[in-house]
Amino acid sequence: MFGRERIELKTPEQVLAMRRAGLLTHAALESVRAALRPGVSLRELDAIGAEVIRAGGGTSNFLGYHGYPATLCISVNEVVVHGIPGEQVLAEGDVVSVDGGAVVDGWHGDSAFTAIVGEPADPGDVELVETTRRALWAGIAALDARGRVGDVGAAVEDAVGDRLGIVDGYTGHGIGTAMHMAPEVLNHRVRERGPRVRPGMCLAIEPMCTRGGVETDVLADEWTVVTSDGSRAAHWEHTVAVLDEGLWVLTAPDGGAAELAAFGVQVPEG
Ligand code: MF3
Ligand code: CO
């Protein structure tokens, strides 16, 4: 998608500015997570996220993006990504992915999580959500070795294993002065390992997995992406900065310290 476009490298000061967008993105998503319950409409959830971004002095990078009509993407069950929040109400056991981003002083954040509403319908849904989350952190941790951007996809693929499908045709991306920038960050292993991982790179890493196949369709609204086989899907995403001193997960309040420790990766202090 981005071909050989140049990669925007950030100064430490610019990464600090991106941290503010990252924390506001996190706050918006957390407020939505806290509001998830049977009976709540996706439109109400979108309004909650929008209000947090507004009150925090940010703007939504999704709203108006190629005409996108909402602040968040809320994708339920067989919807993988880009679900438009409307009058649908959540039910017990729904698998719901919430994706959002804030812009603060021109710098972008982008993050997503998947949660199950109330009691899981079956253990396979829990495995779907947890394995996809684990794959996100494995992909982030892979940046610490300062190899190639393609190492992320290899780590994601290994962490997903063969019990889930990795959605075809959707990727992570560079992020900074725009939401979607070079380089593309694949969620699977390829021979061409891509650009070198360098300090100043900021990447949005976002594995999308299904309980079935890897194929998807886009609905007539031209946004909603569903699995072709109707299987349920999960989507997790963080915005990550590569610094001289180490990795900093800008959309995680602790910078990723707790999750990355499990991979033997230390996050710099302060
Ligand atoms: N946040 C999505 C991504 O992770 C992009 C959403 S585009 C929108 O890259 F138009 F739907 F907002
Ligand atoms: Co993204």
For atom 8 of ligand 1, which residue has the closest CA?
Answer: 62
**Residue 3 pLDDT:** 73
The pick from 61, 179, 208 for probing ligand 1's pocket by mutation, whose C-beta has the most ligand atoms within 8 angstroms, reads: 179
Residue 4 pLDDT: 73
In a domain, 47, yes or no: yes
Please tell me the distance between residue 263's alpha carbon and the centre of ligand 2 in angstroms.
Answer: 23
The domain that holds 181 is classified in CATH as 3.90.230.10
pTM of the model: 0.98
The answer to whether position 270 is within a domain reads: no
The sheet with strand 107-108 has its strands ordered as: 59-60, 102-104, 107-108
Could you say which ligand is closest to the alpha carbon of residue 203?
2
Q: Ligand 2 mean position to 169 CA, how many Å? A: 13
Does 267 reside within a domain?
A: no
Residue nearest to atom 2 of ligand 1 (CA): 99
Number of structural domains (the chain) is 1
Give the distance from CA 87 to its chain's centroid: 24
Asked if residue 1 is part of any domain, the answer here is no
Residue 16 neighbours by CB under 8 Å, 6+ apart:
none
Q: Is residue 6, in this structure, part of any structural domain at all?
A: no
Of 1, 68, 108, 222, best ligand 1 pocket probe by most atoms within 8 Å of the beta carbon: 68
Which atom of ligand 1 has the smallest separation from the CA of 235?
A: 4
Q: Which domain holds residue 225?
A: 12-261
Give residue 12's pLDDT.
97
Q: Mean pLDDT in runs of 10 for the chain (270 residues)?
A: 87 98 98 98 98 98 98 98 98 98 98 98 98 98 98 98 97 98 98 97 98 98 98 99 98 98 91
Residues having CB closer than 6 A to ligand 1 are: 62, 65-66, 68, 73, 82, 99, 101, 110, 204, 206, 237
